[in-house]
């Protein structure tokens, strides 16, 4: 029975009720040992009615075994694996050890967990409870929390109980489980010990902090005189593991030994077999009941037969005392503090001996960790076993477990270089597991051990540079990476310099790359540098590299192709290459690098005039970047979202997002993202007709140096700069911006790049012919609408309203569909001034959909199934079906065929081009 927990139960009931109605969520129960978290978990599991329950308990001895806790949770639901999208199913089967495979992407594993939980939730909902989350292995924790953050449309409630301050990342709702109220504590005491004097109750409550476990355990040990208040209470009261210390000490020697084995390894069969070995090895202690020296099959003093029988007798003693119980095929302690008390009662030699025996009885990962537990000093064989365990964990996507195993292997490695290599590999695993702080610490240790080995030192330096680029100071990343001379390291250095916006460094690094043999990467890296330096060979190299783009297979290659197109002044081709990178990354898995790829995908979608898609991609990328710890990628997505807010005229949101992006990008010297965030503020002024302020901001963007701005941002925003200067009446400024844009675009060959240049000439030179040329060349409908608006404004103000109306109407309709409200209002006002005062253009039917629904609609139009869509978007198939269930009534349709027809008929900018 629970005492005094009405508030906690109410919070759990509310979450369970919402989950039952299809609005899933998660909660953390946080409190000290003995506070009653497990009792609340039991209550949650019992209060769901017909809802299914899946549960697991973190076990300290299994905290280094990748996916051990996930196996507990999901094993009863594995019969539904066949319902999952193939990439998720394969990843999850590998993670659970049901199939061999090298999946290597923790995001796929997390998506598979979400999908399988969703399947398990049918038809009545699901409650998933995880106790002692602080001991859940990292791979399982990552996967479970990935799912917990995405339960909004699922009939799933997840409850995590955690001791102390152990982090539970990304679960916003926390219920603090503290000591009981005095009245509830008194009720608990009297339910077990009858009426007690008020003074005794108050003293017990005060001394224990009203911790339910401490109250019960301590009161049970008091003498009748102490309970009656005739004698003082013990001073000090036992706390923590000491609560059970005397009970553990009171066990027989054989029971203490079995308890120690169970504290190290919970499997019942292993406990009994290890006990048999240990009883046979150890001499009989005085007073012990089991004659360990007897041969197998002989009778013991109490009638037991074999040593296995002796183990069962000792285990039965543990159960009689209430310290442990057999649950299925496991031995479980009644409370985690008992396990701590057992460890405190054992000597280090005893613990090593138990691990040594268990190592003989186990295999693979368990054997490796037991060997490590038995090790005394450095041991290469044990270290090698841990490395093999790390490789298995890494192949299944368990990077956190791999990092832990490799770090421990390094401790056990006697040879300095091998130790440094293992620390380096541990750092990579920690990084891919979303733990940049641990990664940097491990890499610093590896660096210290790599003295004198130039090759290893360069590998470590390259990793340091990559870590800095993703989460630290991008300028420092350039400094570190520029020290190398391999093509890969030079390419990384150019990438870092591109983030900073350091043109001089890009040029110098590009010339160094040109000395390497010809190939796609060399041509791209060298071509970018030479082009920026004005060398005519640069564009030739970039064209040659782009000619090979059809041979590219990985996302990184497509991103370099995107960079090549950008250097040539072709944003539309750059966007196409970025979209391909996103498609490849989702299908193949990127070992945690997907958030970075989505930076460029989101930018490409925005530049292509698809703001809804850009927003959906950036929102996803922002969430994944925060999970992965990629701080600079967080800034990228915040900056892109700020630009989209500017397009919609959301002033407060735009300014807030831009400030958040700049707060990361400026101190980290990420000029590319600082430039985009500054562009968002300039674009906001432009959208709202504040031409003078916009002109000042665009001028500052063009003049910003490395770390605060970026030449690519200055180039891409030049059409806006020209428009702002013209709107502010600065004709000379408009012509200067045009001249700079003409220089930047000198090598551009795509129609859209020529259209933008023509529009700029129309503004700077007051040329209607240039506007007309731009309209003929535009392939981007949003940019075409902007040109139409500018031309319509000019025609109306030169007393030609009839010619203006068609252009203004086209612009108005496009802006309305795109949600670009400031420009839509401007076009509407111009149209009315031109003499057309009709009704607003009918909204496109698909405008009723959210960005996520638009993405799903586009993929349905391509003919993808719910499973295929789920695989692309890291959703569960049931979530996709939920969104379709919401989409159909919004659009007044009833089938996927109708939805696909609508998408095609409206030619709405939602078709995913197979990108997502």
- Asked if omega into 236 is within 30° of 0 (cis), the reply is yes
Comparison of pLDDT for 306 and 468, the residue scoring more: 468
User: How would residue 694 be classed by pLDDT, with cut points 50, 70 and 90?
Assistant: very high
Looking at the domain assignment, is residue 422 inside a domain?
A: no
Q: Are 489 and 532 in the same domain?
A: yes
Taking only the tens place, the pLDDT of each residue in 502-546 is 999 999 999 999 999 999 999 999 999 999 999 999 999 999 999
> Distances in Å between the alpha carbon of 792 and those of 660, 735, 785, 826?
37, 21, 10, 11
> Facing residues of 29 across strands?
161, 175
Q: Are 168 and 189 in the same domain?
A: no
Q: Are 10 and 39 in the same domain?
A: yes
Alpha carbons 571 and 557: distance in angstroms, whole number: 17
Alpha carbons 404 and 365: distance in angstroms, whole number: 12
Q: Are 530 and 667 in the same domain?
A: no
Task: Tell me the average pLDDT across 398-403.
Answer: 90
Q: Are 147 and 16 in the same domain?
A: yes
CATH number at residue 127: 3.40.50.300
Ranking 293-307, 407-421, 595-609, 870-884 by mean pLDDT, the lowest is 293-307
Q: Is 415 exposed, middle or buried (0-12, 13-18, 19+ CB in 10 A)?
A: exposed
Are 639 and 657 a contacting pair, CB within 8 Å? Answer: yes
CATH number at residue 884: 1.10.10.10
In this structure, what token pair is assigned to residue 814? 């496009």
Looking at the domain assignment, is residue 464 inside a domain?
A: yes
Q: Which of 342, 308, 350 is nearest to 323 (CA)?
A: 342
Kindly tell me if the per-residue pLDDT of 98 is higher than 90.
no
Taking only the tens place, the pLDDT of each residue in 628-654 is 889 999 999 999 999 999 999 999 999
CATH number at residue 544: 1.25.40
Looking at the domain assignment, is residue 294 inside a domain?
A: no
Number of domains the chain is built from:
5
Domain end point (choices 520, 551, 582):
551
Comparison of pLDDT for 302 and 275, the residue scoring more: 275
Identify the pLDDT of residue 634. Answer: 96
Kindly tell me if the per-residue pLDDT of 910 is higher than 90.
no
Kindly tell me if the per-residue pLDDT of 226 is higher than 80.
yes
Looking at the domain assignment, is residue 70 inside a domain?
A: yes
Q: Are 10 and 115 in the same domain?
A: yes
Taking only the tens place, the pLDDT of each residue in 574-626 is 889 998 888 888 766 555 678 899 999 999 889 888 888 899 899 989 998 99
Q: Which of 323, 357, 390, 282 is nearest to 64 (CA)?
A: 390
In this structure, what token pair is assigned to residue 676? 């985009």
Taking only the tens place, the pLDDT of each residue in 279-316 is 887 543 433 333 333 333 333 333 334 455 788 999 99
Identify the pLDDT of residue 838. Answer: 54
- Compute the residue count for the chain: 916
With pLDDT > 70 as the criterion, what percentage of the chain qualifies?
93
Looking at the domain assignment, is residue 741 inside a domain?
A: no
Ranking 96-100, 145-149, 427-431, 499-503 by mean pLDDT, the lowest is 96-100
Alpha carbons 494 and 254: distance in angstroms, whole number: 65
Ranking 208-212, 464-468, 596-600, 762-766 by mean pLDDT, the lowest is 208-212
Q: Are 42 and 128 in the same domain?
A: yes
Identify the pLDDT of residue 914. Answer: 33
Instruction: Count Cβ atoms below 10 Å from residue 286 Cβ, excluding itself.
Output: 5
Q: Are 78 and 207 in the same domain?
A: no
**b or e along 611-643 (b: 16 or more beta carbons within 10 Å of the residue's beta carbon)?**
bbbbbbbbbbbbbbbbbbbbbbbbbbbbbbbbb
- Neighbouring residues of 272: CB distance < 8 A, sequence distance ≥ 6: 308, 311, 312, 315
User: How would residue 347 be classed by pLDDT, with cut points 50, 70 and 90?
Assistant: very high
Q: Are 33 and 105 in the same domain?
A: yes
pTM of the complete model? 0.83
Domain end point (choices 224, 244, 264):
244
Domain end point (choices 176, 210, 226):
176
Looking at the domain assignment, is residue 170 inside a domain?
A: yes
Q: Are 538 and 463 in the same domain?
A: yes
Q: Are 232 and 87 in the same domain?
A: no
Kindly tell me if the per-residue pLDDT of 258 is higher than 60.
yes
Q: Would you tell me the crossing angle of helices 671-687 and 631-647 to the nearest 10 degrees? A: 10
Domain range holding 679?
642-710
Q: Are 494 and 508 in the same domain?
A: yes
Looking at the domain assignment, is residue 501 inside a domain?
A: yes
Looking at the domain assignment, is residue 447 inside a domain?
A: no
């Amino acid at each position: 029975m629970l005492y005094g927990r009405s508030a906690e139960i109410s919070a759990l009931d509310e979450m369970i009720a919402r989950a039952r109605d299809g609005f899933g969520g998660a909660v953390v129960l946080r409190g000290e040992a003995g506070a009653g978290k497990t009792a609340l978990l039991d209550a949650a599991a019992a209060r769901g009615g017909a809802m299914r329950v899946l549960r697991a308990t973190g076990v300290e001895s299994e905290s280094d075994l990748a996916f051990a806790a996930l196996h507990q949770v999901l094993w009863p639901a594995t019969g539904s694996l066949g319902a999952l999208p193939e990439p998720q199913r394969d990843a999850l089967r590998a993670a659970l050890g049901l199939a061999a495979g090298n999946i290597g992407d923790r995001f796929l594993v997390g998506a598979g967990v979400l999908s399988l939980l969703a399947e398990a939730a049918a038809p009545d909902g699901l409650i998933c409870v995880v106790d002692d989350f602080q001991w859940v292995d990292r791979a399982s924790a990552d996967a479970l929390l990935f799912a917990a953050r995405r339960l909004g449309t699922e009939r799933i409630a997840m409850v995590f109980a955690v001791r102390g301050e152990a982090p539970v990342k990304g679960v916003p709702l926390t219920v603090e489980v503290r000591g009981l109220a005095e009245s509830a504590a008194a009720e608990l005491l009297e339910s077990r010990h009858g009426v007690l004097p008020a003074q005794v109750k108050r003293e017990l409550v005060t001394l224990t902090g009203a911790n339910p476990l401490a109250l019960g355990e301590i009161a049970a040990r008091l003498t009748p005189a102490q309970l009656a208040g005739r004698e003082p209470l013990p001073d000090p009261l036992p706390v923590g593991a000491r609560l059970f210390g005397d009970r553990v000490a009171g066990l027989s020697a054989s029971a203490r030994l079995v308890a120690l084995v169970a504290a190290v390894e919970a499997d019942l069969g292993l406990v009994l077999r290890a006990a048999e070995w240990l009883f046979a090895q150890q001499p009989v202690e005085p007073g012990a009941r089991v004659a360990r020296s007897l041969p197998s099959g002989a009778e013991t003093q109490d009638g037991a037969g074999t040593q296995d029988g002796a183990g069962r007798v000792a285990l039965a003693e543990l159960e009689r005392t209430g310290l442990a119980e057999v649950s299925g095929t496991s031995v479980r302690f009644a409370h985690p503090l008992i396990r701590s008390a057992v460890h405190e009662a054992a000597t280090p030699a005893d613990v090593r001996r138990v691990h040594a025996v268990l190592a003989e009885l186990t295999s693979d990962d368990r054997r490796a960790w037991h060997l490590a537990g038995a090790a005394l000093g450095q041991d290469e064989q044990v270290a090698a076993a841990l490395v093999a365990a790390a490789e298995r964990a890494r192949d299944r996507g368990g990077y956190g477990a791999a990092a832990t195993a490799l770090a421990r292997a390094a401790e056990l490695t006697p040879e300095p270089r091998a130790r440094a290599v293992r620390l380096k590999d541990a750092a990579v695993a920690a990084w891919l597991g979303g733990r940049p702080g641990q990664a940097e610490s491990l890499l610093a240790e590896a660096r210290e051990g790599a003295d004198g080995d130039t090759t290893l030192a360069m590998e470590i330096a390259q990793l340091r540079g990559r870590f800095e680029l993703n989460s630290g100071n991008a300028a420092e990343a350039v400094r570190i990476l520029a020290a190398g001379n391999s093509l890969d390291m030079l390419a990384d250095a150019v990438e870092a310099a591109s983030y900073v916006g350091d043109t001089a460094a890009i040029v110098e690094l590009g010339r160094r790359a040109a000395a390497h043999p010809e190939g796609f990467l060399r041509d791209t890296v060298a071509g970018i540098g030479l082009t920026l330096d004005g060398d005519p060979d640069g564009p030739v190299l970039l064209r040659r590299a782009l000619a090979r783009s059809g041979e590219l297979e990985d996302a990184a290659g497509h991103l370099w192709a995107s960079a090549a197109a950008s250097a040539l002044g072709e944003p539309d081709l750059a966007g196409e290459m970025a979209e391909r990178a996103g498609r490849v990354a989702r299908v193949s898995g990127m070992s945690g690098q997907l958030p970075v790829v989505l930076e460029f995908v989101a930018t490409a979608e925005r530049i292509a005039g698809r703001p809804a898609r850009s927003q959906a991609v950036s929102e996803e990328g922002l969430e994944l970047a925060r999970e992965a710890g990629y701080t600079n990628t967080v800034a990228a997505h915040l900056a892109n979202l700020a630009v989209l807010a500017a397009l919609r005229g959301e002033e407060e949101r735009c300014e807030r997002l831009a400030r958040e992006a700049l707060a990361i990008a400026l101190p980290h010297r990420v000029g590319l993202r600082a430039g985009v965030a500054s562009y968002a503020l300039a674009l906001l002024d432009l959208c709202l007709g504040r031409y003078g302020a916009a002109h000042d901001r665009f001028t500052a963007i063009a003049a910003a140096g490395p770390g605060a701005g970026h030449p690519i941002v200055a180039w891409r925003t030049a059409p806006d700069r020209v428009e702002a200067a013209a709107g502010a009446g600065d004709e000379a400024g408009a012509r200067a911006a045009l001249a700079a844009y003409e220089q930047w675009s000198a090598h551009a060959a795509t129609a859209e790049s020529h259209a933008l240049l023509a529009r700029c000439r129309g503004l700077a030179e007051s040329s209607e012919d240039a506007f007309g040329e731009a309209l003929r060349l535009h392939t981007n409908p949003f940019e075409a609408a902007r040109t139409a608006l500018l031309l319509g404004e000019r025609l109306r103000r030169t007393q030609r309203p009839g010619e203006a109306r068609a252009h203004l109407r086209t612009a108005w309709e496009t802006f309305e569909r795109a949600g670009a409200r400031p420009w839509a209002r401007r076009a509407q006002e111009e149209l009315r001034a031109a003499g057309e005062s009709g009704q607003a253009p009918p909204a496109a039917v698909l405008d009723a959909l959210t960005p996520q629904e638009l993405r799903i609609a586009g993929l349905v139009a391509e003919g993808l199934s719910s499973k295929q869509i789920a695989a692309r978007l890291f959703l569960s198939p049931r979530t996709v079906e939920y969104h379709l269930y919401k989409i159909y009534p919004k659009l007044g349709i009833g089938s996927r065929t109708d939805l696909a027809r609508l998408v095609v008929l409206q030619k709405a900018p939602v078709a995913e081009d197979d990108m997502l």
